[in-house]
């Protein structure tokens, strides 16, 4: 409580009388009357990119933990929870291969704090991303807390926008390196970064002098992901960063599960049906769009992509799609509502449906919580895939779709 009050420039007064009790008064400065209350941050705050990574959230306060989990799952992440460092170790033992980020309070019960916990887990997985949080830290004092190397830190209380951005920043660590620097040039610095386990996962973009280019061999040897010639225009830098982040996401989503055998060749019947079927993908995350479209292409079919449920319905009214991959969480209209409207239109006997037959809808969801599959089927979806979508699971879903078509063929 003291840390939160201090963070808001407030103070606590205490009056105690022997035999009568103690009275605590919490005083906080009033906000300006004209200041609007905006959920999630400033009105002009840029949108935070969603994700699908799995993280471990450690927070002993149930209300704070529930809030953080809701925010992060709303942004597409898979969140595992623990209320102490000891409990976090138990969760880690079961799910270490899946967890890519640790979000933990500094002060935890049972004697294992956030810094010690992150150090322990990083011994097993040096590439683990870490975000620390606390309401007891004062950045302005001379003895201000300094996060360990390769970790991020945010103050409590945090708004949804700040929380989501901190997680995204930790996952998307990128360093811009000038190739020509005194004492240590960019290539030497790049090799040093890649040699340090705590920050080895940082993606590197090299800035080279006009007319100078790095060879593919030089970039690979130094662990550099991309290079830009100076002077750098804002638009080119933005495109470069998006491509670097997208490349890493695609690599993660494309990969097979550890130890899983490669998918078998698709059946000839499925291949034939894919060639004659138009496929629609409704997904608001641009990176996920590219990955799923690429996976479908690898399986022999092309797909069109839209960003929300409204656009999906409009696309169905224009073109005869036979198969739709529908993200459940999208802006403007989510996948659940879009599916309800599609099924309602198909069942309407008073008005001709723009598409000729019942469209097969496969749900895409990031939460993978118990009951999600039943919820998807209840609104009229035919199948269910959890994100990140992987090649084998996508192929299995397509084979099920093919099997369902056979009786009606």
Contact residues for 52 (Cβ-Cβ < 8 A; gap 6+): 76, 77, 78, 253, 285, 288, 366, 387, 388
Which tokens hold the place of 286? Answer: 């641009």
Decide if pLDDT at 67 tops 60. Answer: yes
Decide if pLDDT at 83 tops 60. Answer: yes
pLDDT in tens, 341-357: 999 999 888 888 888 77
Positive or negative: CA dihedral 314, 317, 320, 323? positive
Mean predicted confidence (pLDDT) in 220-247 = 78
pTM of the full structure: 0.47
Task: Please tell me the predicted confidence (pLDDT) of residue 309.
Answer: 93
Same domain, 276 and 357: yes
Task: Please tell me the predicted confidence (pLDDT) of residue 44.
Answer: 47
The answer to whether position 15 is within a domain reads no
Same domain, 356 and 247: no
Task: Please tell me the predicted confidence (pLDDT) of residue 359.
Answer: 93
Q: Which of 197-211, 219-233, 336-350 has the lowest mean pLDDT?
A: 197-211
Q: Look at residues 137, 171, 205 and tell me which one is the last residue of a structural domain.
A: 171
Mean predicted confidence (pLDDT) in 137-144 = 49
CA separation (Å) from 297 to 170, 245, 284, 294, 304? 31, 21, 19, 5, 11
Same domain, 350 and 401: yes
Q: Facing residues of 330 across strands?
A: none
Between 14 and 247, residue with greater pLDDT: 14
The answer to whether position 44 is within a domain reads yes
Task: Please tell me the predicted confidence (pLDDT) of residue 407.
Answer: 52
If pLDDT is split at 50, 70 and 90, which confidence band does 332 have? confident
Task: Please tell me the predicted confidence (pLDDT) of residue 40.
Answer: 39
- Residue among 72, 126, 141, 81 at smallest CA distance from 108: 81
Decide if pLDDT at 409 tops 70. Answer: no
Mean predicted confidence (pLDDT) in 187-210 = 83
The answer to whether position 27 is within a domain reads no
Decide if pLDDT at 148 tops 80. Answer: no
Same domain, 58 and 155: yes
Mean predicted confidence (pLDDT) in 93-122 = 90
Task: Please tell me the predicted confidence (pLDDT) of residue 255.
Answer: 46
Task: Please tell me the predicted confidence (pLDDT) of residue 214.
Answer: 85
The answer to whether position 8 is within a domain reads no
Q: Look at residues 136, 155, 171 and tell me which one is the last residue of a structural domain.
A: 171
Domain with 245 in it: 174-254
Task: Please tell me the predicted confidence (pLDDT) of residue 102.
Answer: 95
Give yes or no for a contact between 27 and 13, defined as CB atoms under 8 angstroms apart: yes
Task: Please tell me the predicted confidence (pLDDT) of residue 70.
Answer: 92
The answer to whether position 239 is within a domain reads yes
The answer to whether position 10 is within a domain reads no
In CATH, what number is assigned to the domain containing residue 40? 3.40.50.2300
The answer to whether position 19 is within a domain reads no
Same domain, 363 and 232: no
Q: Tokens 């991303």 correspond to what residue?
A: 129
If pLDDT is split at 50, 70 and 90, which confidence band does 9 have? low
Decide if pLDDT at 270 tops 90. Answer: no
Same domain, 146 and 226: no
Task: Please tell me the predicted confidence (pLDDT) of residue 329.
Answer: 82
Task: Please tell me the predicted confidence (pLDDT) of residue 39.
Answer: 37
Same domain, 220 and 282: no
Same domain, 146 and 246: no
Same domain, 76 and 208: no
Task: Please tell me the predicted confidence (pLDDT) of residue 305.
Answer: 93
Same domain, 166 and 185: no
Output the DSSP codes for 346-362.
HH-SSS--SSSSPPEEE
Same domain, 184 and 151: no
The answer to whether position 231 is within a domain reads yes
Mean predicted confidence (pLDDT) in 126-153 = 72
Q: For residue 207, how many other CB atoms are within 10 A of its CB?
A: 18
Same domain, 120 and 244: no
Task: Please tell me the predicted confidence (pLDDT) of residue 118.
Answer: 92
Q: Which of 40-54, 184-198, 339-353 has the lowest mean pLDDT?
A: 40-54
Mean predicted confidence (pLDDT) in 46-68 = 84
Q: Look at residues 107, 136, 171 and tell me which one is the last residue of a structural domain.
A: 171
If pLDDT is split at 50, 70 and 90, which confidence band does 367 have? low
Mean predicted confidence (pLDDT) in 90-110 = 90
Mean predicted confidence (pLDDT) in 26-34 = 61
CA separation (Å) from 27 to 53, 64, 73? 40, 21, 34
Chain-wide mean pLDDT for the chain?
Answer: 81
Between 200 and 193, residue with greater pLDDT: 193
What's the CA angle centered on 63, arms 60 and 65, to 5 degrees?
55
If pLDDT is split at 50, 70 and 90, which confidence band does 366 have? low
- The total number of structural domains in the chain stands at 3
Task: Please tell me the predicted confidence (pLDDT) of residue 69.
Answer: 93
Decide if pLDDT at 258 tops 50. Answer: no
């Amino acid at each position: 409580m003291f840390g939160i009050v201090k963070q808001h420039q407030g103070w606590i007064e205490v009056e105690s009388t022997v035999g009568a009790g103690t009275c605590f008064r919490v005083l906080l400065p009033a906000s300006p009357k004209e200041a609007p209350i905006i959920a999630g941050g400033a009105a002009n705050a840029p949108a935070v990119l969603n994700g699908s990574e799995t993280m471990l959230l450690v927070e002993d306060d149930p209300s704070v933990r529930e809030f953080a989990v809701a925010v992060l799952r709303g942004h597409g992440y898979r969140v595992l929870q623990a209320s102490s460092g000891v409990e976090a170790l138990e969760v880690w033992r079961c799910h270490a291969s899946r967890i890519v980020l640790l979000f933990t309070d500094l002060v935890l019960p049972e004697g294992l704090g956030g810094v010690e916990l992150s150090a322990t887990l990083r011994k097993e997985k040096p590439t683990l991303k870490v975000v620390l949080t606390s309401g007891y830290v004062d950045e302005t004092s001379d003895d201000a807390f300094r996060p360990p190397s390769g970790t991020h830190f945010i103050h409590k209380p945090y708004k949804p926008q700040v929380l989501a951005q901190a997680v995204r920043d930790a996952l998307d660590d990128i360093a811009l390196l000038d190739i020509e620097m005194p004492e240590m040039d960019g290539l030497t610095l790049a090799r040093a970064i890649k040699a340090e386990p705590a920050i080895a996962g940082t993606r590197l973009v090299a800035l080279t002098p006009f007319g100078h280019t790095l060879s593919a061999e030089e970039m690979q040897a130094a662990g550099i992901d991309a290079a830009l010639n100076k002077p750098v225009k804002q638009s080119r830098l933005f495109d470069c960063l998006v491509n670097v982040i997208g490349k890493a996401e695609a690599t993660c989503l494309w990969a097979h599960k550890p130890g899983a055998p490669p998918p078998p060749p698709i059946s000839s019947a499925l291949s034939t049906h894919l060639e004659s079927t138009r496929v629609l993908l409704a997904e608001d995350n641009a990176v996920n769009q590219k990955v799923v479209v690429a996976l479908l292409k690898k399986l022999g079919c092309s797909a069109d992509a839209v960003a929300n449920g409204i656009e999906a319905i409009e696309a169905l009214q224009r073109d005869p799609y036979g198969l739709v991959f529908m993200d459940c969480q999208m802006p403007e209209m989510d996948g659940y509502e879009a599916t309800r409207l599609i099924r309602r239109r198909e069942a309407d006997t008073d008005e001709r449906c723009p598409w000729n037959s019942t469209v097969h809808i496969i749900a895409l969801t990031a939460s993978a919580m118990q009951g999600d599959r039943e919820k998807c089927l209840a609104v009229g979806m035919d199948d269910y895939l959890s994100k990140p979508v992987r090649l084998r699971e996508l192929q299995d879903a397509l084979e099920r779709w093919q099997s369902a078509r056979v009786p009606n063929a």
